[in-house]
């Protein structure tokens, strides 16, 4: 496959540090090629200290847009002109579209997760959902779930430094969406049991269970699982965490975070180009 660069080729890419491990260039450049779009996507190792200069340069060069990863998802906000509803509630951005010099920020991580949940056969519209964690992934998923019509959202966190952040997230969701959000201490096992009895989807949005700590799990009590519950993990290395293995053994449906990565990229591609990514082709090649 040869991607022909011309005098009209438009540039975009990923800003973060480190970025050399990213598969986003393969996903997007293959998609551009398959659809005949004269665009290219590159990775740029850029930290917060140079972010402003780089963003302004990308604006001036009439790029189609760019993605952001750590440590730039929040740091980019002062350089943008407009935010989507989800990005505004979360206070972070992973996708920017350049609209003739106006930079509009979006958050597609939650879109990717909700799309992967539906593909796994778990549509939680009008149902209850529980999310473990209060970090970036948890915030993106929680806000998008609320926007997409989850009726009740149970956020679960430890009473540590993340507790105050979780409280603010609950407040923002309740103020800006029709979803009813609440917060529970991870150590309160009986409260978790009661909430899970009416919950359709439990999502681990923490890093607990990720390689190399594959024996760890955010929920120690396997009696909390029940067959009517779907359990997911944003982790995909390993493909089946201890949480998912124990949930599956208890009769729960399960899925991991592999396709969240794919579908957040699909959403960004749509924002930039207005066209649908050839997702099934990309899935076969890289997932």
From CA 90, how far away is CA 232, in angstroms rounded? 21
Distances (CA, A) of 213 to 43, 208, 241: 29, 8, 10
CA–CA separation, 72 vs 247, rounded Å?
35
Where do we find the tokens 């290395």? Answer: 237
Cα distance between residue 212 and residue 75, in whole Å? 29
H-type helices in the chain, by residue range? 24-35, 48-60, 85-90, 109-119, 136-148, 161-176, 189-196, 242-249, 258-273, 279-286
Q: Which of 224, 172, 223, 168 shows the shortest CA–CA distance to 195?
A: 224
Active site residue 118: no
Q: Which of the following is catalytic: 73, 97, 152, 172?
A: 73
* Residue positions annotated with a catalytic role: 73
């Amino acid at each position: 496959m040869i991607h022909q660069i011309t005098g009209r080729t438009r540039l975009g890419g990923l800003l973060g540090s480190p970025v050399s491990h990213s598969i986003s260039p393969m996903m997007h450049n293959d998609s551009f090629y398959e659809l005949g779009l004269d665009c290219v996507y590159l990775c740029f190792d850029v930290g917060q200290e140079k972010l402003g200069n780089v963003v302004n340069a990308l604006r001036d060069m009439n790029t189609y847009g760019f993605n952001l990863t750590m440590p730039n998802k929040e740091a980019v906000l002062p350089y943008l002109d407009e935010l989507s509803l989800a990005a505004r509630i979360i206070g972070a951005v992973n996708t920017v579209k350049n609209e003739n010099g106006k930079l509009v920020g979006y958050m597609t991580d939650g879109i990717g997760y909700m799309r992967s949940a539906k593909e796994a056969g778990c549509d939680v519209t009008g149902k209850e959902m529980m999310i473990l964690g209060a970090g970036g992934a948890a915030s993106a998923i929680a806000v998008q779930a609320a926007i997409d019509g989850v009726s009740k959202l149970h956020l679960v966190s430890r009473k540590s430094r993340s507790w105050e952040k979780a409280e603010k997230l609950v407040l923002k969701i309740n103020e800006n969406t029709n979803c009813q959000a609440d917060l529970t201490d991870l150590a309160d096992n009986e409260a978790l049991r009661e909430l899970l009895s009416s919950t359709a989807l439990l999502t681990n949005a923490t890093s607990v269970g990720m390689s190399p700590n594959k024996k760890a799990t955010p929920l120690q009590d396997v009696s909390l699982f029940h067959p009517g519950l779907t359990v997911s993990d944003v982790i995909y290395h390993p493909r089946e965490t201890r949480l998912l293995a124990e949930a599956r053994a208890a009769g729960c449906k399960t899925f991991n975070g592999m396709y969240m990565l794919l579908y957040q990229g699909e959403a960004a591609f749509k924002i930039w180009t207005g066209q649908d990514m050839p997702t099934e082709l990309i899935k076969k090649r890289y997932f």
